[in-house]
Chains A and B, each alone.
Chain A
Amino acid sequence: MNIIKRELRSNLKALIIWVSVLSLIILVASTEFAVYHDNPDLIAAFEGFEDMFAALGGSIANIGTPEGFLSLMSIYLYLPASIYGALLGSLIISKEEKDRTAEYLFTLPVTRNQVLRSKIIAAIFYQIVFVTVIILASILIFYRYDLDENFYSFMRHMFVALTMTSLIFMSIGMLLASYLEQYKRSGSLTLGLLIGTYMLNMLIEVVEELEFLKYVVPFQYFTAENMINSNIEFIFVFLSLLIITSCLSGVFIFYKKRDLYI
């Protein structure tokens, strides 16, 4: 319990900065939405750019509604949540070795498993807090536009979607930090992977032949457009949980076995 508390405290500042900045971005974007809101002429003018909007993960037809607008700017939700997760995951594991505090922490009467368990609990908790705050902030910010049930159902779906996607990158970050000999590079490697899969995601949206790749691109699991029109697909929730649990099991296996770098 004391390690969890310690991790929560040491990561609190970063969390507050992340969600504050992101909420601000959503707030600024919402003022732009005022232009599209109930303005069919403007929307008609955009119709030629359908492909571009698809690449961003939404459809132009929806831009007049709050949920449609948010789905178009969903890149600003998925990317920050995933980047935060990737950095949090890799750092929370690697920092003890990077800051050379491993020689302190692991000579206390704790097992490596206890330490890992505490760190994972703290990280998952903060990741969920991150997503929850962002979803609540979005609801609050768009509240002035007569929200209907469609919007709230979109937000519920987005909650699951953002949580799953960001936890995938968080657990990959943790796995790399515990496996790699060059643990210091786990953060940048996870981010590289994240950007790579995001690029692939945009390609898949435009080039239909690449459809089959969607199982290896987490951003394809819960596309914002699907979050509006249909439900969350069970297969992708299952796939996400599978990736998360295998990565986290890997963390326990690799970190326990190896020499700490001091």
Chain B
Amino acid sequence: MNVIEFKDLTKYYGNVKGCENVNINIKEGEIFGFIGPNGAGKSTTIRTMLSLIYPTSGSITVFGKDAIEFGHEIRKDIGYLPSEIFYYDKMKVIDLLLYSASFYDHDCTSKIYELAEIMELNLDRRIQDLSYGNKKKVGIVQGLLHSPKLIILDEPTSGLDPLMQQKFFNLIAEENKKGATVFFSSHILSEVQQLCDRVAIIKDGEIVSIEDVKSLQKDNYKKFTICGDKLNHGRFNIDGVTELKEAENEVSFFYKGDVNLMVKLLGTLSLSNVLIEEPTLEEIFMHYYE
């Protein structure tokens, strides 16, 4: 079953394109990554899904219901962590969390304390006295306190130290194990690599590609680095080679295709060193961005 279905979603702000023809289906229980540089349209897509803004054309279905018409119903089961956190400055953290909890039908008090303890959040401070990272922690607790079935994260890790990031990832993984679907938007690929099953790449408001994270890494590209003498003879310029960088003593490139062919080619050369690696997602995605 699909938890989220974007159908030809297009959003223009006047003449400015937010996103165009976005088509994504997200299955129940999966952790779906949403990758793109700043300004690519990630937040636009998310805000449309939450009916903070309305689509120019196309539709979004969440839990099988139209996201605009039944917005308040589907939001009962959505936990949202925005990229920048703004709350009522004068409120205490605990009052804000209890206020948020009052909008849901079931009692969330014990979950609030449980999450606050995991994230090491001081509940008695005022929002205005909190640092950026601490506000983010409040956001995490607020987004998860009602045990949502769909968790939407918009660049969630900014402001968190590495230790907190890890705790946060564990929390998300745990919620996912309990059955929650996760929509994870980020421009940091390593964290997507760590957490996600599938990933959509967005560029200039349009989806460039939707791929399986594992197969993307395993089956596709290999990163070759070759050392030796007088290697800049152009013989590596064959089908399947990209990002070719040739120098006198070192050549590096990505290769996608039959490895036997490449091994044969390497066998004809006298080399001092060879390195064959899995490329990082960053390296894989660079050519989508260019």
How far, in angstroms, from A257 to B13 measured CA to CA in the complex?
14
Asked if A111 contacts B72 (CB within 8 A), the reply is yes
Which parts of B68-86 form the interface with A (CB within 8 Å)? 71-73, 75-76, 78, 80, 82, 84, 86
Q: Which residues of A contact B13 (CB under 8 A)?
A: 259
Q: Which residues of A contact B53 (CB under 8 A)?
A: 259-260, 262
Tell me the count of chain B residues lying within 8 A, CB to CB, of chain A: 27
Asked if A109 contacts B76 (CB within 8 A), the reply is yes
CB distance from B162 to the nearest CB of A (A): 27
Question: Do A109 and B52 contact each other (CB < 8 Å), given the known contacts A103-B86, A104-B86, A104-B87?
Answer: no
Q: B52 contacts which of A6, A102, A111 (Cβ < 8 Å)?
A: A102
Asked if A109 contacts B99 (CB within 8 A), the reply is no
Q: Which residues of B contact A99 (CB under 8 A)?
A: 86, 88-89
Q: Does A100 contact B (CB under 8 A)?
A: yes
Q: Which residues of A contact B88 (CB under 8 A)?
A: 10, 99, 101
Q: Does A2 contact B (CB under 8 A)?
A: yes
CB distance from B38 to the nearest CB of A (A): 16
CB distance from B220 to the nearest CB of A (A): 37
How far, in angstroms, from A103 to B76 measured CA to CA in the complex?
15
Across the two chains, which residue of chain A brings its CB closest to B100? A108
Which size bracket describes the interface of A in this complex?
Answer: 20 to 34
**Please, what's the 1-or-0 string for A101-116, where 1 marks a CB less than 8 Å from any CB in chain B?**
1111011111100100
Asked if A109 contacts B73 (CB within 8 A), the reply is yes
**Please, what's the 1-or-0 string for A134-165, where 1 marks a CB less than 8 Å from any CB in chain B?**
00000000000000000000000000000000
25 A–B pairs (Cβ distance < 8 Å), ordered by A: A2-B102, A2-B103, A10-B90, A99-B88, A100-B84, A100-B86, A102-B52, A103-B52, A104-B86, A104-B87, A104-B142, A106-B51, A107-B50, A107-B52, A107-B75, A108-B75, A108-B103, A109-B72, A109-B76, A110-B72, A110-B103, A111-B72, A114-B72, A260-B52, A262-B47
Across the two chains, which residue of chain A brings its CB closest to B80? A107
Asked if A262 contacts B100 (CB within 8 A), the reply is no
Which parts of B91-111 form the interface with A (CB within 8 Å)? 99-100, 102-104
Q: Which residues of A contact B104 (CB under 8 A)?
A: 109
How far, in angstroms, from A100 to B87 measured CA to CA in the complex?
8
Residue from A6, A107, A108 with most neighbouring chain B CB atoms (10 Å): A107
Which parts of B1-24 form the interface with A (CB within 8 Å)? 13
Residues of B bordering A, CB below 8 Å = 13, 47, 50-54, 71-73, 75-76, 78, 80, 82, 84, 86-90, 99-100, 102-104, 142
Query: Chain A binding site: helix, strand, loop or mixed by DSSP?
Result: loop
How far, in angstroms, from A149 to B88 measured CA to CA in the complex?
48
CB distance from B145 to the nearest CB of A (A): 11
Residue from B51, B71, B72, B89 with most neighbouring chain A CB atoms (10 Å): B72
Q: B82 contacts which of A2, A6, A103, A110 (Cβ < 8 Å)?
A: A103
Q: Which residues of B contact A106 (CB under 8 A)?
A: 50-52
Q: Which 4 A-B pairs have the closest CB atoms?
A: A259-B53, A100-B86, A109-B76, A109-B75
How far, in angstroms, from A66 to B142 measured CA to CA in the complex?
56
CB distance from A87 to the nearest CB of B (A): 18
Q: Which residues of A contact B99 (CB under 8 A)?
A: 2, 6
How far, in angstroms, from A6 to B78 measured CA to CA in the complex?
22
Question: Do A262 and B52 contact each other (CB < 8 Å), given the known contacts A99-B89, A101-B87?
Answer: yes
Q: Which residues of A contact B52 (CB under 8 A)?
A: 102-103, 106-107, 259-260, 262
Across the two chains, which residue of chain B brings its CB closest to A101? B86
Extra 14 A-B pairs, beta carbons < 8 Å, given A2-B103, A109-B72? A2-B99, A6-B99, A10-B88, A103-B47, A103-B52, A104-B86, A104-B87, A107-B80, A109-B73, A109-B75, A110-B72, A110-B103, A260-B52, A262-B47
Residue from B13, B73, B86, B87 with most neighbouring chain A CB atoms (10 Å): B86
Across the two chains, which residue of chain B brings its CB closest to A259? B53
How far, in angstroms, from A108 to B142 measured CA to CA in the complex?
10
CB distance from B158 to the nearest CB of A (A): 15
Asked if B103 contacts A109 (CB within 8 A), the reply is yes
**Please, what's the 1-or-0 string for A224-262, where 1 marks a CB less than 8 Å from any CB in chain B?**
000000000000000000000000000000000101101
Across the two chains, which residue of chain A brings its CB closest to B73? A109
How far, in angstroms, from A36 to B84 measured CA to CA in the complex?
61
**Please, what's the 1-or-0 string for A79-112, where 1 marks a CB less than 8 Å from any CB in chain B?**
0000000000000000000011111101111110
Q: Which residues of B contact A10 (CB under 8 A)?
A: 88, 90
Across the two chains, which residue of chain A brings its CB closest to B51? A106
How far, in angstroms, from A102 to B104 measured CA to CA in the complex?
18
